[in-house]
Amino acid sequence: MELLAPTIRRDLNVGSTWSLPEWSSGPHGDEQMVLEAALEAGYQGIQGANPRRCRDLGLIPTTFAIHAVPGGLLEQAQRWVDLGFVCCTMLLGTGFEDDDAAARLVEEVLVASESAGIPLYVETHRATVTQDIWRTVQLVRKFPEMRFNGDFSHWYTGHELTTGDLDAKLEFMAPVLSRVRYLHGRIGTSGCVQIDIGDANPAEYPSVAHFQTMWTRAMEGFAAGAASDPVPPHNLQMGFAPELLPPEVGYARRMSGPDGALEEEGDRWEQSLVLTDIAVDCFVNTSADEATA
């Protein structure tokens, strides 16, 4: 039996297509049109769309969820399996939990994931149990089976990672980085969780290099350990899904245009492709480094 090699899968979170401005190059229409446009653009998976429509087009369906309080997760996980989703990324809790309450939430995730046979990835996200890096590392020490969806812009901004010794902070984050199995593509600054990075020139956008480092370390951990996970990823693929959300939910910034009217700072559809290219390059470089090690 041939063993699968770890690979990256080009996913797209449907939120990146919500409320696209008329001038965006992205799809403007119903879900079917969005899925067909994603397929044509080279995406291989979709997060947050009808799984049957995805599979009809040959796209791998994944989902996302908010699980704020304990209870009912195993039943929900089984429904995701029955619908054909291959994994779920989760906003877990609210961030106001004490240690015991946070532990109960994590325990429920681990039991539901293994019992239903679907990877449930706890997302690194503000206003959840993982909003604090120190606490997240302590949770990993208590529950080494935890696996994550890395949405590092929340930590990059919330912890102002560039203030002080960034390398030392990344070393402290290593137990989490090595357990990342899915990534949300978003790049921020010390003051904003989502920015338009243009053509990703590091000289113009220094945070690009920082996110490349975090994504690469996560990919190294994936390549080294994903096959041994309690519930391994589908086909040993790490999904990378740009999740560039619109101004209506507080993410994309609005800027004054030539006529003074506020409009989105950039084209989230085009930016999703830029982020995906960066991630693929990171994974290719990771594989190349391993091959020469």
194 within domain boundaries: yes
189 within domain boundaries: yes
Average pLDDT for consecutive 10-residue bins of the chain (293 residues)? 84 98 96 98 98 98 98 98 98 97 98 98 98 98 98 97 96 98 97 94 91 98 97 98 96 88 94 98 81 46
- Of 104, 77, 76, 79, the C-alpha closest to 92 is 104
- Degrees, nearest 5: CA angle 250-218-93: 45
Tally the domains of the chain.
1
Please report the pLDDT score of residue 292 as a whole number.
Answer: 45
8 Å CB contact between 78 and 117: no
Q: Which domain holds residue 226?
A: 7-292
184 within domain boundaries: yes
1 within domain boundaries: no
C-alpha 1: how far from chain center? 31
Please report the pLDDT score of residue 1 as a whole number.
Answer: 47
CATH of the domain at 52: 3.20.20.150
- Of 2, 31, 122, 23, the C-alpha closest to 68 is 122
149 within domain boundaries: yes
Please report the pLDDT score of residue 256 as a whole number.
Answer: 86
200 within domain boundaries: yes
2 within domain boundaries: no
Question: What backbone torsions phi and psi does residue 62 show, to the nearest 5 degrees?
Answer: -125, 165
Please report the pLDDT score of residue 293 as a whole number.
Answer: 43
196 within domain boundaries: yes
Please report the pLDDT score of residue 286 as a whole number.
Answer: 86
Please report the pLDDT score of residue 99 as a whole number.
Answer: 96
